[in-house]
Structure 1
């Protein structure tokens, strides 16, 4: 997938089919819009494309970032999008709806068809809606396909609902709405060596940056992509009350990978969250904490063995 981070014409010799949206989380609703655009492009000899944007300072529209930018790109590319235009919001925020269609859809994309959800807005101060999009696109010969909003549990899937599910420990709901497991790929950093030094359970530390949504604290069954292979793992997110009881203790994200001894410092391995196991709590001894970590790792190995 070719990514452009400024408003510029994309490579679409025969024209493009363009998915429109912010796509934070690339959830089921977003996947439907992106996938429909890619399918249409494949059947009509067009280039599959998407238009989105980045907010300043790694901000998000309604809360912390669900996925890293790299993960967002990877999930969009998996859906078949070949040309991806992602300018800063400031670069086009002042465009009128008419200029958005003319400059972005016509000049940049050579669009033949566009795809969006029924809540799509565009143009300065979100002045344009789906009906206006259809009116403005028609003279240019651009068709507008409104993709039905995805539903889960009788309600529309949204990034707001996914954030709430992650923050409340409802990982099953979050993953169902995302369409694939919630995942992180934050850089691996050095911890305090407690896992390897005192517990016999060396951990991979991938702590959350300030702009990212942090899921509910607790112990999770996870799997991690290391050296090109997926490995079952157990991940704890929390303040580690057993080893640091101070009120201002930092929240950490630590993953124990049984039977793995490689050095991954500075790397950004992909970590998928598959099941919430239990809350974080203070144990009476290091041995009790080590026993929980090993139990969680065995649970993870059994969980993924059963998936196959």
Structure 2
């Protein structure tokens, strides 16, 4: 393997969905060390002043890169957004990052106002001695997979569709914080996590989910919303991990959402809420056994 030149995957890797994964896998074909070029700020934040909601945390992005055995290069998009296509290839890819190969999707654009496309990149790669690998479009239900479609699925609670486009369940790993221990009193202790501003929010309601702890997967029930029976003003993720009783406070615990079970509902009292949580737990275990445990 050439230790000096890099093979760089190009694109906006904001979701690491199946289309992104195809581009990243192509970066391994050349024999050069594979890397992904990441932007410290979403390009649309620089272009339009507002970025779409994130669908992947920094921690999970690093984990996914590790699983794919590729490195990360980072650049501020504002530094390159007004460069000509040739300046980007010559000065950034070759001059700064020592690219010997690049990979991208067939609809990739780059340079000032998106003035460069795959054909422009192909010509510039020939000029500067760079290998080019172009990934074909990846579709789901006959339409190109995109982060926009994934956000729409998450917001509507359609976690199965989101998972089919991501190649994995939608998940998040925000820090576990102390709650009011109401779940403990009900016999269903929970972990509480808050979503930061700028991160996509699932449809409010109850989900079958699962959590991996110490290499073991546990079925779980997650409520995302305001808990109308108890009455909390802030939106939160509250997850009951079935069969687990350890302390996760202060940890960045990954919760994976599998399927929407029901909308949030205000119950007459805590006893009826407890009975519903029990029923939700039974449903979540069945879904877990038919998906995650079955494929383990």
Same fold (TM over 0.5): yes
Match of 1:8 in 2: none
**Who is 2:13 aligned against?**
23
> In structure 2, what is the equivalent of residue 155 of structure 1?
143
Partners of 1:170 and 1:190 lie apart in 2 by 29
1:100 aligns with 2:88: yes
> Unpaired segments of 5 or more residues in structure 2?
none
Distance 2:275 2:95 in 1: 61
How far off its partner does 1:26 sit?
0.3
- Contact 1:257–1:297 (CA under 8 A) maintained in structure 2: no
1:160-179 superposed matches below 5 A: 160-179=148-167
How far 1:27 sits from its partner (Å)? 0.4
Instruction: Kindly indicate whether the alpha-carbon contact (under 8 Å) linking 2:106 and 2:135 is maintained by their aligned counterparts in 1.
Output: yes
Q: Secondary structure at the match of 1:221?
A: strand
Superposition RMSD in Å: 2.2
Residue of structure 1 equivalent to 2:33: 47
Q: Name which of structure 1's ranges 63-72 and 116-125 shifts more when overlaid on structure 2.
A: 116-125
- Partner in structure 2 of residue 250 of structure 1: 234
Distance 1:12 1:241, change over 3 A: farther
Counterpart-to-counterpart distance in 1, 2:81 and 2:156: 34
Matched, 1:232 2:222: no
Aligned to 2:58: 69
Give the superposition deviation at 1:109.
3.2
Q: In the alignment, which residue of structure 1 is the partner of 2:128?
A: 140
May I ask how many residue pairs the two structures share in their alignment? 289
Partner Cα separation in structure 2 for residue 256 and residue 29 of structure 1:
33
TM-score (norm 2): 0.90
Work out the CA distance in 1 between the residues paired with 2:112 and 2:148: 23
Do the aligned partners of 1:12 and 1:109 also contact (CA within 8 Å) in 2?
no
Match for 1:202 among 169, 172, 189? Answer: 189
Q: TM-score, normalised by structure 1?
A: 0.87
- For 1:270 and 1:206, the matched residues in 2 are separated by 10
Contact 1:162/1:174 (8 A) holds in 2:
yes
CA deviations on 1:45-89 (whole Å, 9 max, x unpaired) are 3211221212179969752100101112222332231x3111222
- Over residues 211-253 of structure 1, what are the superposed CA-to-partner deviations in whole Å (9 max), with x where a residue is unaligned? 1101111111111122342211110101111111x7xx21111
Q: Using the alignment, how far apart are the partners of 2:43 and 2:5 within structure 1?
A: 33
Give the alignment of 1:113-124 within 5 angstroms: 113-124=101-112
Q: Which of 203, 206, 209 is the aligned partner of 1:216?
A: 203
Which residue in 1 is equivalent to 2:259? 275
The runs of 5 or more residues in structure 1 that have no matched partner are 1-10
Q: Deviations over 1:262-289 (max 9, x none)?
A: 1111100111111111111111221121
